[in-house]
């Protein structure tokens, strides 16, 4: 495999695995709890997958140009993603629905999963010589 594509493939595989596990949990452990969500779980994973793939791509390009800037670039892109995630979550936070706690917990779980994936990919990029 092309070494420059490895962070992208790792991100995609980890995201797909996380989605499968999360979807199975929601289907078998908490059936019917997602019916009135503002964003379906597929949309959340799609958004965060695209963000994570973009971050992995930019970090790979940054590593080639200047490895010393990978950490700063990671922090900047993660902050931008956090702002975008808040913008995405804002309608859920301001909705008048009574039962949004489960949806908020799932949103933050997906955010944390992808933050972990991005951190692992970034650390692996920095460890390679």
For 26-72, what is each residue's pLDDT tens digit?
Answer: 888 888 777 678 888 999 999 999 999 999 999 999 998 988 888 99
Asked if 38 contacts 91 with a C-beta cutoff of 8 angstroms, the reply is: yes
Residue 10 belongs to a domain? yes
- Per the domain annotation, does 74 fall within a domain? yes
Q: Model pTM?
A: 0.89
Q: Look at residue 77 and tell me if it is in a domain.
A: yes
Residue at 78 is within a domain: yes
Quote the number of domains for the chain. 1
Q: Which domain holds residue 83?
A: 6-127
Residue 22 within a domain? yes
Nearest of 53, 51, 74 to residue 9 by alpha carbon: 53
1 domain residue, yes or no:
no
**8-state DSSP, 69:** G
């Amino acid at each position: 495999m092309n070494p420059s594509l490895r962070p992208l493939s790792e991100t995609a595989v980890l995201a797909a695995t996380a989605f499968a596990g999360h979807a199975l949990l929601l289907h078998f452990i908490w059936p019917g709890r997602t019916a009135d969500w503002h964003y379906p779980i597929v949309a959340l994973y799609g958004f965060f997958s695209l963000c994570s793939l973009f971050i992995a791509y930019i970090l790979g390009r940054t590593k080639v140009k200047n490895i010393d800037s990978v950490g700063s670039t990671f922090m900047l892109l993660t902050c931008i993603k956090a702002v975008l995630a808040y913008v995405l979550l804002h309608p859920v936070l301001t909705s008048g629905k009574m039962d949004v706690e489960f949806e908020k917990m799932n949103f933050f779980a997906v955010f944390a999963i992808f933050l972990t994936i991005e951190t692992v990919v970034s650390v692996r990029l920095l460890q390679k010589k």
